[in-house]
Chain A
Amino acid sequence: MLTTGANETSESVADAAVVNIPLPVVEQARLNRQRADTYHRYHIEATETEDRQKVPRRFNVKVGRFGLAKLLVKEFFKYFGHWDVVFSRPCTYGVFSGPVGGFKPRPDLCVGCLRCTVEHPDFVTVTHNPELAKLGDVYLTSKHIATIDEEAKKGTVPVRGQGYRGRFGGPGFDQMFTDMSEIVRPSRDGIHGRELIGTCVDLGSKPMYLSFAADGSLLNAPKMITIQVPFVFDEPSDVVGDGLVPRIYAKAAAEVDTLAFLPSDTVTRLGLAGPNVVPMIAAERIGGIDSFSNGTRMVEMTSWNAEAWATVADHPFLISVRLPFAGDWKTEMMQMIDAGVSIIHLVADHHGKADDGRFVMDLFQEAHFALVERGMRDEVTLIGSGGIAGADHLPKAIITGVDAVSLGHPLLLAMQAHLSGDLVTRGAAEVRLPESLDMEWGVQRIVNLSCSWRDQLLEILGAMGLREVRRLRGEIGRAMWCGDLEDEAFGEIEGYAGGVN
């Protein structure tokens, strides 16, 4: 009798021994079964979490009282007895359904269908709320902010009717369209069914081959960790780095199973060390990484220093090194790789620009292809940071070559932070969080945002027929560049002098 071990009991283990299957094999099979039985599909638990601070409404609604009164009197006599007509309102969203109807409209409920102002142009006016337009800046627009707010509130994928409403192409991430396939899916079960698309990514170095000692033991076990989503949480600016916010980041990172990068002093002071927290340590203090315990898996050196690196290169923790896109960053990146750094955290400003004004989509590609040319792409993990302001930026950044991205402003916006001042320079924005911010609410808002962005990533991957996000990295062939397509489509047309973007 040969048993597979799939349903082994202690008795059958004994039977198995009779047919000379070594016990460790059977035991391993039992453990595998145990693990399979406890398998659960990765899922982020989103729960609708109401706003704590009022977001500027989309529309202002003004009703002329005299005009309304005149209408009511007229309709009262004209439709006397037909009370459904007299009391009908030109709004299905309740803007005029308060106690005194149109005399005190409720513009917070307005969705901009404009039925009221089309039907009653004499005395109803609906305008865009200028307060909403004031949010953000030229890159992080009020639309991004309102969308993030909705995503953090509901944890769902924003869905609307009537097609696209914006510019044809655009700068930055808008210059890329992503590909799709007419007939290929990762599986045949559909994105809304049982289809499984992996969003986990590995941080660290994957050896290109395995080496074994004479006794069969593995000599170069991969030194890496896996997180469930291709995004991590970058440090909050100093302004809000004092207590609650870092704790929220750490807890949300644990719930989502990603990483929160936090200043090492904050981690120590608040006792946040753990498997989902990455203490950020200055190079000159890197020798102190042994002080982090409680399951810490990774730390980050905040700048490159070859001597400091040499002292910790063999440390069991994974160590990432932060590298701003400034000066001759590429040469520095190559020095880091030569020294054995396996995780590089590339950092641009909040508009996704390097100090020379180049955008991260170009910079990520340059870093990625430099590694490809060296034949080392899988031995180094690239985390890209800067300019990520919407869910679509995530897959687009990965297509251009990074393994994962780190999020900055979107996390603060998920907690309804009001950002003002300099929104370009890292750590420079003035941040005003809701006064009633608390741990549970903040964590859930970030978890919701993570859920929404992951689900939107699944939409992109599903449309392409990709089974996992790891295969998207550097897949430039999956990108369609607006400028290139315009050249191809309009190149022969008189007056065409290159794409508009």
Chain B
Amino acid sequence: MAKEFSKPSPKLLEKTQHLMHEGFHTRAFPDTGHGLPEALGDARWTDELITATWYMAETGKCPDHLNYKTGRSGGGFDRLAFKSLPKDQHLAPDAEVDISLELNRREDGRNKRRIAVPWYGGGMSYGSVSINVMMSRALAAKKWDTLMSTGEGGYPEELYACKEHVITQVATGYFGVEEKSIQAAPIIEFKYAQGAKPGLGGHLLATKAGEEVAKMRGSVPFVSLFSPFPFHSTYSVEDHMKHLDWIKTINPTAMMSVKVSTPHDVDMVAVGSYYAGAHIIHLDGGFGGTGAAPEIAKKNIAMPIELAIPKVHKFMLKEGIRDKVTIIASGGIRTADDMAKAIALGADGCVLGTSDLVAMGCTRCANCEGGPSGRGCPWGLTTTDVELQEYVQQAWGAERLNMYYTALSSRIKEILRELGLSTIGQLRGRTDLLRYISGGEAE
């Protein structure tokens, strides 16, 4: 059993939070006299991207002194840029731009739901993250009239306060799935696979499955929990329809989202999901993921999201069903520019996970599964340690996300105006507005 720690005293909490918050500021702002932390970042999430996200989460603005658009991975989004159109083709800087997104494109009597921004929060389960992180995201989703997903770890009671903005995820382990949480949700998300560990199911390490987490999941405390792969009741599209019928019986108005990974036949999977009744096809690419995953799975199994989006988009166009389904992309979406590029490649909107955490202070040290301390994230994000989780308070986290979403929103609007587009829907599939940078990274 993991060693027990106690909640921090009010003084310790105050001191630690102060130091953390000051630190995020100091490292992200140019006038503090301190540069970026030397060991921060990697090819995908560079030091500049991480600190730019901190800057945006504090100010609601994109920084002039940091590259907040691209990383240095040498491919995909980092090699794509938008074309520079002549100024006379731009919209006026104050022109109204609509970036809202309708999620239900089927006329099937289910809920219609238009979210105010073309993104929502991806599934991070209670257990993989703390209740404070979960609530921060839910509160931000409420403020921005968008959504966030529970992940596969149950629906904590506190979340009901934001239930119109919470997607209930049903995944292969059925952890925490109950009638009440299905009835409460506007959207039910079936997670068939996730990009970081496609085909491998989920795994919550024993150290993170504490008393509360275990209670929520109906399991024994401090015992590792495996979410198997795949759904043991699904062998075909017809079996998938049975799942949807089951949900329909419990919640007749809920929309259905199907979250899948990006294998070779992802286009066929998407079409099958549509005919089974899905409103949202959620493609989760291989490079993202917030939870612990085998290193071998992250790079090697399934394809990056940039390569999967056009494949699915074009196939659905050919099938004549593209306008009846919403394609949501996740797994490697880091920035507003990534989102706009994903939409230009053929998605309707995106799901954010890692970038939410980075906005709340994540340095991507990768010790989410517990690390050598066994306590999880030292920043209090991906942990249920009673001391560490206190360092992220809900009001602070929600405000960080609020500011971050403000910056994302303004940047997406700026991109649209520079492309002469007045709605986000007009950008979908417009690869003619993109250019590929062959000899180096995009700006």
Contacts and interface: CB of A to CB of B under 8 A. Distances in A.
B45 interface: yes
A176 B300 CA distance: 7
B228 A190 contact: yes
- Size range of the interface on A? 35 or more
Given A92-B375, A160-B295, A165-B45, A496 B39 contact: no
Nearest to A494: B435
A482 B37 CA distance: 33
B20 A119 contact: yes
B286 interface: yes
Contacts of B42: 165-166
Contacts of B289: 162-164
B250 interface: no
Contact of B74 (A164, A464, A489, A500): A500
Nearest to A168: B75
Contact of A182 (B75, B269, B290): B269
A162 B203 CA distance: 14
A79 B19 contact: no
Contact of B303 (A94, A485, A500): A485
Interface string B234-264: 1110000000000000000000000011011
A228 interface: no
Interface stretch (A122-130, A200-208, A293-301): A122-130
A183 B192 contact: yes
Given A163-B287, A493-B434, A500-B75, A463 B200 contact: yes
Interface in B418-443: 431-432, 434-438
B354 interface: yes
Contacts of B372: 93, 109, 111
Contacts of A495: 435-438
B230 interface: yes
Contacts of A120: 19, 23
Given A119-B22, A159-B293, A496-B438, A92 B228 contact: no
Most buried by B among A79, A82, A164, A460: A164
Most buried by A among B40, B354, B366, B434: B366
Contacts of A178: 300-302
Most buried by A among B290, B298, B362, B378: B378
B73 interface: yes
Interface stretch (B76-84, B130-138, B393-401): B76-84
Contacts of A167: 43, 73-75
Interface in B10-55: 11-12, 15-16, 19-20, 22-24, 26-27, 32, 34, 37-40, 42-45
A176 B302 CA distance: 10
Contact of A494 (B27, B83, B297, B310): B83
B311 interface: yes
A429 B159 CA distance: 59
Given A121-B26, A494-B436, A160 B366 contact: yes
Nearest to A177: B303
B276 to A, nearest CB: 12
The 5 nearest A-B residue pairs measured at CB = A168-B75, A161-B368, A463-B199, A118-B23, A190-B228
12 contacts: A85-B11, A112-B365, A113-B363, A117-B39, A120-B19, A163-B289, A163-B332, A165-B42, A179-B302, A463-B200, A485-B311, A500-B75
Interface of A: 59, 75, 79, 82, 84-85, 88, 90-94, 109, 111-115, 117-122, 125-128, 147, 157-170, 174, 176-185, 188-193, 391-392, 396, 456, 459-460, 462-465, 477, 480, 482, 485-486, 488-490, 492-497, 499-501
Given A84-B9, A501-B75, 5 more contacts: A121-B37, A127-B39, A158-B294, A177-B299, A193-B228
